[in-house]
């Protein structure tokens, strides 16, 4: 378990600060993550990678010459927000365009896609490639749904080397997509990991048993078996990966492969070498030529005990990129050319927040909004453990932790904005950014969308009405469904959100006060959230193990019900003028 920490909610930020202090010759801190501290030639394509913290050396540890130009680093096991990705990309950009690359997880896809859209709208040519190497997470016919694990490195390394050679953005994207298509991984776990401040691991595996196909966040595997010998694990790895060859490769015979045997956090290097000894023999017997194998920790999961094997099927171009030199805090290969250090002023962090003008009516409304967000933080705090328990049934168990981080950050941002004289729209916008930044993941993205949409409807001038709140909620639902692609019946927050919107709209149109209409809508949302226990998930991390969630409500829908009930209490207790 993780023993050394201060405030668990500050762990990721403090970790990044310490990482930068220890590696100042290679990385610099920027808002949202880190970028290279060395000078990159103008016109070079910038590779920006990222994901949740807790996987070191992914993602900050591979920023440096020959590899990534920047890394957006989210909170623990939570994707960085779109704002964080955009900030890192702006700092890393050198005029040749930006490639965003990340593991194929719902939260990462949402945030990086949103950042890509914002960067392109700002005139910075940006593309993205999601890594999908884990063969256990979806069948070959649906390989676009697969998650990214240790195979991240082969894609990042290839794209970065292409950028170093001066390839255009289109060509760097081509290389990244080819590397992803040529990469296959398979992993196992012997025990779960415990996040800072948690009193239990995210998941457990019975003593003497091994979860087969386990994800790096604790996502359930596809099977459970007795722990094999080292040679037995090597055979499982090699047989599983050779059973599915990339397109265009009909036989392993005579092929060259890059190999990664990755430790997930608690498996010792000596153990990995014992396993690799047999892997090398099995690959040779299959007729494969191994090129520059990597044995060690490349993508970890705190103290998870487990390992994965990655095969990277090379052609001449990919082999050149796989062998290319690199110099980063956690990954070094060959010898890179000496380069000049950047002046810190060239990569400054985000600018101070500017509060737009507002009138007294909107500032009074902002006070009620701040009270509501404070109530959200309290109810999430009180139910964080239960939300985590519900999420762990078929997911990775971090919903409570993520919601807690997001709600606390939003409440703090609301208080600060209120003290600075913000109107309702600005207060909600700053709270939305804070929630998305701290929570990360899918829930962080969706709650950021929701708060921003309601803020846009309320504005910074005039007293909000029941109608304007109803319009804002409807816009929030539209934004969430468009962004997250979920529909009613998918067993997500949307199952509670849509009845809430419909009931609120009906009540307001019927002449009910906002407080009364909101309470009726909250009751409808709570009932719908409870009813999700009878549904099977059709998207997200729970989808591969849908049957496990039957009888348990969706964590996102359940937390939404709690939140809107807490806001109902605030509205019921507000003065007549505030209402």
Residue 49 burial by Cβ neighbours in a 10 Å radius (0-12, 13-18, 19+):
buried
Residue 209 burial by Cβ neighbours in a 10 Å radius (0-12, 13-18, 19+):
middle
Sequential DSSP letters for 372-434: HHHHHHHHHHHHHHHHHHHHHTTS-S-HHHHHHHHHHHHHHHHHHHHHTT--HHHHHHHHHHH
When pLDDT is cut at 50, 70 and 90, the band that residue 401 belongs to is confident
* Residue-level pLDDT at 217: 81
1-178 belongs to CATH 3.40.50.300: no
Instruction: Return the percentage of the chain with pLDDT > 70, whole number.
Output: 95
DSSP β-ladder status, 289-296 and 256-263: parallel
* Residue-level pLDDT at 579: 56
- Express each pLDDT in 190-227 by its tens digit: 998 888 888 788 778 889 999 998 888 877 778 899 99
Cα distance between the two ends of the chain: 48
Contact 312, 258 (CB under 8 A): yes
Lowest-pLDDT choice from 23-32, 331-340, 384-393, 547-556? 547-556
- Express each pLDDT in 62-87 by its tens digit: 999 999 999 999 988 888 999 999 99
- Express each pLDDT in 481-533 by its tens digit: 988 788 999 999 999 999 999 999 999 999 999 999 999 999 999 999 999 99
360-573 belongs to CATH 1.10.40.50: no
211-215 long-range contacts, CB within 8 A, separation 24+: 211/306, 212/136, 212/188, 212/236, 213/134, 213/136, 213/137, 213/186, 213/187, 213/188, 214/187, 214/188, 214/189, 214/306, 215/134, 215/137, 215/147, 215/149, 215/187, 215/396, 215/541
- Express each pLDDT in 106-163 by its tens digit: 889 988 998 999 999 999 999 999 999 999 999 999 999 999 999 999 999 999 999 9
List the catalytic residues: 217
In CATH, the architecture of 185-194+202-325 is 2-Layer Sandwich (3.30)
* Residue-level pLDDT at 343: 78
Instruction: Return the percentage of the chain with pLDDT > 90, whole number.
Output: 77
| pTM: predicted TM-score of the whole model, two decimal places | 0.81
Average pLDDT of 545-558?
Answer: 82
Residue ranges of the domains in the chain? 1-178, 185-194+202-325, 360-573
When pLDDT is cut at 50, 70 and 90, the band that residue 576 belongs to is low
């Amino acid at each position: 378990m993780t023993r050394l920490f201060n405030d668990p909610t500050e762990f990721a930020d403090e970790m990044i600060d310490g990482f930068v202090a220890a590696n100042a010759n290679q990385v610099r801190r920027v808002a949202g993550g880190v970028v290279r501290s060395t000078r990159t030639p103008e016109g070079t394509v910038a590779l920006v990678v990222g994901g949740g913290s807790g996987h070191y050396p992914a993602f900050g540890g591979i920023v440096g010459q020959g590899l990534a130009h920047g890394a957006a680093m989210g909170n623990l096991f939570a994707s960085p927000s779109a704002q964080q990705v955009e900030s890192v990309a702006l700092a890393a950009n050198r005029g040749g365009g930006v490639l965003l690359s990340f593991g194929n997880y719902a939260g990462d896809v949402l945030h990086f896609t949103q950042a890509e859209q914002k960067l392109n709208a700002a005139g910075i040519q940006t593309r993205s490639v999601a890594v999908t190497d884990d063969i256990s997470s979806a069948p070959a016919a649906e390989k676009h749904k697969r998650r990214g694990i240790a195979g991240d490195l082969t894609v990042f390394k290839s794209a970065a080397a292409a950028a170093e050679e001066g390839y255009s953005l289109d060509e760097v994207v081509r290389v990244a997509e080819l590397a992803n298509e040529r990469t296959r991984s398979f992993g196992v776990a012997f025990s779960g990991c415990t996040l800072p401040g948690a009193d239990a691991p995210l998941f457990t595996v019975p003593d003497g048993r091994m979860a087969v196909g386990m994800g790096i966040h604790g996502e359930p595997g596809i099977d459970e078996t007795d722990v094999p010998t080292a040679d037995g694990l090597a055979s499982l790895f090699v047989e599983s990966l050779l059973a599915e060859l990339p397109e265009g490769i009909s036989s392993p015979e005579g092929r060259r492969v890059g190999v990664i045997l990755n430790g997930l956090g608690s498996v010792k290097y000596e153990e990995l070498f014992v396993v690799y000894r047999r892997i090398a023999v099995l690959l040779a017997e299959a007729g494969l030529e191994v090129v520059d194998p990597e044995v060690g920790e490349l993508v970890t999961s705190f103290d998870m005990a487990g390992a994965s094997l990655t095969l990277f099927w090379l052609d001449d171009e990919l082999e050149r990129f796989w062998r290319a030199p690199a110099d980063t805090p956690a990954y070094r290969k060959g010898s890179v050319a000496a380069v000049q250090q950047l002046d810190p002023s060239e990569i400054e962090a985000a600018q101070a927040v500017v509060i737009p003008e507002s009138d007294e009516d909107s500032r009074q409304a902002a006070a009620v909004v701040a009270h509501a967000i404070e109530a959200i933080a309290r109810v999430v705090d009180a139910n964080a453990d239960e939300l985590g328990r519900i999420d762990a049934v078929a997911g990775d168990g971090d919903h409570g932790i993520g919601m807690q981080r997001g709600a606390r950050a939003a409440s703090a941002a609301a208080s600060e904005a209120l003290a600075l004289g913000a109107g309702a729209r600005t207060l909600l916008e700053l709270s939305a950014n804070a929630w998305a930044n701290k929570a990360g993941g899918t829930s962080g993205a969706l709650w950021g969308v929701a708060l921003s949409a309601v803020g846009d409807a309320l504005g910074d001038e005039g007293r909000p009405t029941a109608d304007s709140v109803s319009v804002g909620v409807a816009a929030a639902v539209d934004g969430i469904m468009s962004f997250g692609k979920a529909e009613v019946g998918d067993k997500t927050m949307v199952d509670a959100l849509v009845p809430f919107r419909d009931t609120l709209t009906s009540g307001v149109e019927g002449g009910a006060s906002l407080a009364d209409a909101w309470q009726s809508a909250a009751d409808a949302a709570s009932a719908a959230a409870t009813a999700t226990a009878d549904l099977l998930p059709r998207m997200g991390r729970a989808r591969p193990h849908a049957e496990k969630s039957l009888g348990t409500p969706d964590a996102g829908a359940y937390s939404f019900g709690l939140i809107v009930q807490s806001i109902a209490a605030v509205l019921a207790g507000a003065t007549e003028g505030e209402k």
